[in-house]
Amino acid sequence: MHGFVPLSADPAVQRPGAARRLRLIADAYGLPQAEREAVVPLLARRTRAVYDFLAGRAARGAQPWARLWRDGHGAAWRADAGYISRDEERWRRALLG
């Protein structure tokens, strides 16, 4: 969902109607109510997990992670996790409304 909506803090990447797009993905996959409820807290958590993975690999100098970190990917994933977390109620309403 992060990549397809996209759920990005970067205004250059954001698309109008992100909440509607999120709902369309859930509808297309036929997610039942319980799974939609379960997805909401996972949106930011999984995005943060990508940041944590990237940070850990970069700290060890593993490639391509160290290069991606230097190129700013870590900051982008961290910002995206914050954006998703701050708007969690918006995503909840979109998925369950």
- In one-letter notation, the amino acid at residue 17 is G
pLDDT tens, the chain, 97 aa long: 999 999 999 999 999 999 999 999 999 999 999 999 999 999 999 999 999 999 999 999 999 999 999 999 999 999 999 999 999 999 999 999 8
pLDDT of residue 97: 87
Half-sphere exposure of 13 (CA within 13 A, CB side): 14
Spell out the domain ranges in the chain: 18-96
Please give the model's pTM, rounded to 2 decimal places.
Answer: 0.93
pLDDT of residue 23: 97
